Amino acid sequence: MSLPDDHRLTQAPPRADAVAALLLSLAGALAVRVGTDGCDIITVARSPVPLEVGRWLHAELCRHRAAVISIIQAENGGGRA
């Protein structure tokens, strides 16, 4: 017995911009502010967030750095002048 060759059974990897948007939404839900200077990601927790959660979130934001920075700059009118 073989498995059917169906392309619907495979799933494409998530797009970086979609993952970045999801991570920024999660940060907002946790009251973690996310900013950038155009190169680095800066996170500031405004409420108590477990240390491991904060570290994981920051690591994931950095993993998708380019997309996260692009979203933040778009939301702030294009970035630095």
Q: What is the mean pLDDT of the chain?
A: 85
- DSSP result, 2-69: -----GGGS-PPPPHHHHHHHHHHHHHHTTEEEEESSSSEEEEESS---HHHHHHHHHHHHHTHHHHH
Domain assignment present for 10:
no
Q: Is the dihedral of CA 7, 13, 19, 20 positive or negative?
A: negative
Interval 60-75: pLDDT, tens: 999 999 999 999 999 9
**Number of domains making up the chain:** 1
Tell me which residue has tokens 């948007």. Answer: 21
Q: Does 12 score more than 80 pLDDT? A: no
Please give the residue range of the domain that contains residue 48: 39-81
Domain assignment present for 34:
no
Domain assignment present for 20:
no
Q: Model's pTM, two decimal places?
A: 0.77
Query: Which candidate, 48, 18, 44, places its Cα nearest to that of 33?
Result: 44
